[in-house]
């Protein structure tokens, strides 16, 4: 009986401390909610308007009058307002979806260190990492929901059958499995955060049972790797897209995910330490995290090297070569690459060979080289300048560098080159339109909102458990 009361108390703890903050907290909440609502309104009123109208009025037989009052009409709008086309059917939304799935996967790395290896410092960090995973999965799933053409139908035909009676609409489709693992990972992380807060909020003497957290990690660990692996499986087995069609894609996704997730968490923990007086993170946690992220970054860079060798050295597959030109070609390597690729590069880029990538998509090659150079620089700094990773400012610098490098690598660079040029050799340069950028920002704003609302009760519980001044440490 008392346990049930305690559960209700935990729920109340979440509600209370999510909203119990100063004026700055409320400004942040309103800003994020307002930004999200405004840009989602743009999405509903322009990009998805005809689809929403057709589904609600023609198929679900709702009244059309109030939809028309909101400005949603059957004959205007559509995804034509994005720069996606039959040549490039996946754009900015899916690119950032891939990135945020990676961020989510890294949350469990800290859970491993904390609950499996019983590291005292990482115990203080793990629940925040799970909160980050919840926020990241929210952003990722929201982006897919905004990306599909018929969002309401997606819920009817895909989400509800899977969630209610675990019936896969098409058991061949990786999309279905991705939905399953993402949803499970979201639920598992909500449970994890709840368990941690349920005990920690009661004071220093209460901690979740070891076996329970161990069991939690046994389920969450494989799922964390699984979400990103299955996300890579969506694209890596497609024969039509030689740029993706390699078994290296899934490991490369996971490697860079394990670099970016911890880097983001380090930045968030620094902000939390600054604004929550009682919350202390031991210094060695930062150093260890940066080192772990660097190891993952080295693996990711190594995979990029392997990819470059594979696409340039012996490959005679034309489409792969052209797509690789779009990613790797830059003025400072063009003389090395010239003899290997001149035929197809000339065909698509003309005789002005020493350029960034393919015409219209120069940004892909630039992002790729930013990733390679910034990532290598971060690795060199971590390895050869130890004082940097021992100081707060140095850690912040390194984490920012790693995060930026992975943002460059795992957004547009992993998705778009597979479509440019497309399977029939049509070069349709893709560049996100303002509405795409706005909708992506909306998803991120709502993700930040979820992050702050979940992280605050977690931090309060952690402060209560570990004491206001970290005396246990």
Partner 1 sequence: MVEKGGKIRRNLLKGIAVTGIAGMMVLDRNKVKDMLKPITKEDLEDGYIYTINGVEYVISAESPYKTPEELQRLAKEKEADAKRRCMESAKEICKRLGENSPECKLAKKHCQEIKVKWTLARKGVRWAMALDLNRCIGCRRCAYACVQENNIDRTQGIEWIKVLNISREELELIATDLKYTDAPYKERVYIPLACNQCEYPPCTMVCPVRATWKEADGIIVIDSYRCIGCRYCITACPYGARHLNWKPVIVDALTLNPNMHVLGNVPREVHTVEKCIFCIQRTRDGGTTACVEICPVGARAFGNLHDPEGPIMRIIEEYGAFVLKPNAGTKPRFFYYFGPARTPPKDAVNPKSSNWIGNPPRPEEGAPGPNVLPGGEESFNEEKKSDKGM
In the complex, the residues that contact partner 1 under the rule CB under 8 A are 50-51, 54, 58-59, 74-80, 84-87, 89-90, 147-150, 153-154, 157-158, 169-170, 172-176, 179, 234-235, 238-241, 318-319, 322, 344, 347, 418-419, 421-426
Give least dist CB 240 to partner 1, A: 4
CB 72 within 8 A of CB 51: no
Q: Which residue, 302 or 347, is less far from partner 1 as judged by CB?
A: 347
Q: Which residue, 130 or 436, is less far from partner 1 as judged by CB?
A: 436
Give least dist CB 90 to partner 1, A: 6
Q: Which residue, 28 or 175, is less far from partner 1 as judged by CB?
A: 175
Tell me which residue of 146, 129, 144, 140 sits closest to 99, measured CA to CA. 140
List the Cα angle 413/374/354 in 5-degree steps.
60
Tell me which residue of 398, 409, 414, 407 sits closest to 294, measured CA to CA. 398
Give least dist CB 328 to partner 1, A: 18
Q: CA dist 160 to 99, 104, 176, 178, 234, Å? A: 26, 23, 12, 15, 21
Q: Which residue, 76 or 309, is less far from partner 1 as judged by CB?
A: 76
344-350's contacts with Cβ under 8 Å and 24+ in sequence apart are 344/318, 348/322, 348/421, 348/427, 349/325
CB 279 within 8 A of CB 272: yes
d(CA 389, CA 391) in angstroms, rounded, equals: 6
CB 415 within 8 A of CB 98: yes
d(CA 83, CA 432) in angstroms, rounded, equals: 6
Q: Which residue, 79 or 395, is less far from partner 1 as judged by CB?
A: 79
Q: Which residue, 78 or 278, is less far from partner 1 as judged by CB?
A: 78
Q: CA dist 178 to 171, 437, 440, Å? A: 11, 24, 20
Q: Which residue, 59 or 210, is less far from partner 1 as judged by CB?
A: 59
Query: How crowded is residue 1: how many other Cβ atoms within 10 Å of its Cβ?
Result: 5
Place of tokens 């955060």: 193
Q: Which residue, 23 or 171, is less far from partner 1 as judged by CB?
A: 171
Give least dist CB 179 to partner 1, A: 8
Query: How crowded is residue 354: how many other Cβ atoms within 10 Å of its Cβ?
Result: 14
281-287's contacts with Cβ under 8 Å and 24+ in sequence apart are 281/121, 281/124, 281/125, 282/120, 282/121, 282/124, 282/473, 283/390, 284/121, 285/121, 285/122, 285/124, 285/125, 286/389, 286/392, 286/395, 287/389, 287/390, 287/395
d(CA 9, CA 92) in angstroms, rounded, equals: 42
Give least dist CB 223 to partner 1, A: 20
Give least dist CB 75 to partner 1, A: 5
Give least dist CB 256 to partner 1, A: 22
Backbone CA torsion sign across 252, 258, 263, 265: positive
CB 128 within 8 A of CB 459: yes
Give least dist CB 238 to partner 1, A: 5
Give least dist CB 439 to partner 1, A: 15
Give least dist CB 319 to partner 1, A: 5
CB 112 within 8 A of CB 133: no
Q: Which residue, 72 or 264, is less far from partner 1 as judged by CB?
A: 72
Give least dist CB 435 to partner 1, A: 13
Q: Which residue, 200 or 243, is less far from partner 1 as judged by CB?
A: 243
Q: Which residue, 77 or 107, is less far from partner 1 as judged by CB?
A: 77
d(CA 8, CA 2) in angstroms, rounded, equals: 10
């Amino acid at each position: 009986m008392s346990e049930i009361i305690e559960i209700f108390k935990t729920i109340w703890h979440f509600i209370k401390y999510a909203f119990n903050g100063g004026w700055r907290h409320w400004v942040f909440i309103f800003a994020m909610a307002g930004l999200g609502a405004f840009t989602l309104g743009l999405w509903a009123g322009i990009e998805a308007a005809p689809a929403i109208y057709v589904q609600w009025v023609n198929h679900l037989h709702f009244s059309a009058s109030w939809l028309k009052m909101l400005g949603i009409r059957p004959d205007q709008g559509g995804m034509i307002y994005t720069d996606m086309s039959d040549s490039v059917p996946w754009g900015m939304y899916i690119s950032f979806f891939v990135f945020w799935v990676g961020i989510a996967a890294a949350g469990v790395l800290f859970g491993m260190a904390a609950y499996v290896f019983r590291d005292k410092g990482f115990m203080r960090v793990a629940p925040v990492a799970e909160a980050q995973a919840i926020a990241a999965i929210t952003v990722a799933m929201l982006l897919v929901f905004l990306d599909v053409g018929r969002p309401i139908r997606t819920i009817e035909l895909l989400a509800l059958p899977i969630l209610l009676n675990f019936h896969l609409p098409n058991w061949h489709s990786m999309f279905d499995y991705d939905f399953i693992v993402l949803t499970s990972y979201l639920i598992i992380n909500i449970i994890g955060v709840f368990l941690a807060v349920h005990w920690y909020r009661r004071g220093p003497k209460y901690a979740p049972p070891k076996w329970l957290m161990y069991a939690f990690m046994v389920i969450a660990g494989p799922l964390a790797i699984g979400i990103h692996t299955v996300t890579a499986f969506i694209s890596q087995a497609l024969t039509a897209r030689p740029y993706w069609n390699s078994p290296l894609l899934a490991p490369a996704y996971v490697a860079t995910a394990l670099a970016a997730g911890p880097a983001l968490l380090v930045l968030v923990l620094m902000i939390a330490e600054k604004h929550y007086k009682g919350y202390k993170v031991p210094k060695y946690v930062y150093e260890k995290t940066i080192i772990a992220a660097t190891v993952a970054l080295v693996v990711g860079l190594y995979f990029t090297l392997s990819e470059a060798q594979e696409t340039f050295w012996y490959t005679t597959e034309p489409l792969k070569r052209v797509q690789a030109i779009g990613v790797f070609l830059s003025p400072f390597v063009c003389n090395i690459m010239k003899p290997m690729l001149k035929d197809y590069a000339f065909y698509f880029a003309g005789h002005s060979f020493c350029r960034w990538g393919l015409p219209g998509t120069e940004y892909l090659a630039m992002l790729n080289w930013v990733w390679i150079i910034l990532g290598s620089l971060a690795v060199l700094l971590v390895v050869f300048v130890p004082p940097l990773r021992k100081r707060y400012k140095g850690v912040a610098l390194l984490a920012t560098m790693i995060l930026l490098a992975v943002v460059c690598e795992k957004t547009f660079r992993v998705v778009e080159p597979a479509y440019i040029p497309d399977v029939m050799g049509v070069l349709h340069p893709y560049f996100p339109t303002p509405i795409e950028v706005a909708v992506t920002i909306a998803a991120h704003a709502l993700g930040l909102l979820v992050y702050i609302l979940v992280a605050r009760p977690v931090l309060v519980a952690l402060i209560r458990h570990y004491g206001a001044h970290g005396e246990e440490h």
